[in-house]
Chains A and B, each alone.
Chain A
Amino acid sequence: MKKECIDCGGELNIPDDAVVGEIVSCPDCGGDFEISSTSNGTTDLKRAESVGEDWGE
């Protein structure tokens, strides 16, 4: 599935098996977006959280 980047208008490739929480990156601007919902073949995106101080293993 293709979707327009909400920052730069570039073309985002959303995998068919994408699930909520998955991150997709824009090949044009490098922005990261999190899939916030999927239903009936449509996908909503929101800006992904930036790396937090407590992120990791």
Chain B
Amino acid sequence: MELSILYDKLRFEEKTLYDNAIKKGINTRLVDAKTISISTDINGNDFLGDIFLQRCLSHFRGLYLTSCLEFLGYPVTNTFQVTEICGNKLRTSLILAKSKIASPKTYFSFNSESFKSLIDKIGFPFVIKPLVGSWGRGVFPVNDGEVANMIVENREENDTPFSRIYYVQEMIDRPPRDIRCIVAGEQIITAVYRYSANNEWRTNVSRGGHTALAPITKELEDIVLHASKAVGGGILGVDVMEDKNRGFVVHEINSNVEFRGASQVAQINIASAMIDYVLESLKK
């Protein structure tokens, strides 16, 4: 059996996953997704591996490569369905709401005019996010009409199919941190607080945020595993805020979770636990 770790840009995470798989004695290779071509002729494809861990940095490259590999009958972690849901904030919010998982109140508008009408109804402040994207890019607190107008103008000038859809979320009254929970199946591998950097509202480690170990309480475990199951399960990064009024709320789920920041404080080998999960899931 050969495990292939698919990537398109090699990060700390992919190297660490590879090293841990090799240490476990698993026949493993790193496969650059940019070098792959796949045919609908099932017998006409090069051998790429027996099981796959999808780690492409480009969401759509990874998503559709996973679809191809599933078509060929290979098990891929995470699945196409899970990746499709988690890679789109609108889809994630709908699933969380349908599953009655506490999450920020979220609104969707489908052009600039309806976005402005929405603001008239809900007022300020609120948070605006792109449907697809990561590392806090394009995630802004909007405190007044001037900023809202700038966002509309910017989106109209940089028109893309996704930029026409507005994803608007209530501003949560929280401490300057959130909790990143790294999940594999039905287990939280580790949980870390992510603190915002100076002069930065977002908590992303890629924005200079720093991490500290967070306790995995029963309450946290319940909501995180419920959210993970709702989107289909797998290896996930479930992000939770501490709402001063409502307690924990899940605001994002990542299907290609980065764990460099968490590794600096975790008391467990995160990559090793992920590899164990990939192998265990084959038995189910």
Contact = CB atoms under 8 A, between A and B. Distances in A.
B30 A57 contact: no
Interface in B122-168: 130, 132-135, 137, 160, 162
Contacts of A48: 9
A23 B9 contact: yes
A52 B63 CA distance: 15
Interface residues of B, number: 27
A55 B63 CA distance: 12
A24 B57 CA distance: 17
Interface of B: 7-10, 30, 32, 34, 57-61, 87, 130, 132-135, 137, 160, 162, 237, 254-258
Interface in A14-57: 19-23, 34, 48-49, 52-57
Contacts of A55: 57-59, 133-135
Contact of B256 (A34, A49, A56): A56
For the side of the interface on A, what is the size category? 10 to 19
Given A21-B7, A21-B8, A55-B134, 15 more contacts: A23-B9, A34-B9, A52-B58, A53-B130, A53-B132, A53-B160, A53-B162, A54-B61, A54-B132, A56-B59, A56-B133, A57-B134, A57-B135, A57-B237, A57-B257
Interface of A: 19-23, 34, 48-49, 52-57
Contacts of A21: 7-10, 30, 32, 34
B133 A54 contact: yes
Nearest to B254: A57
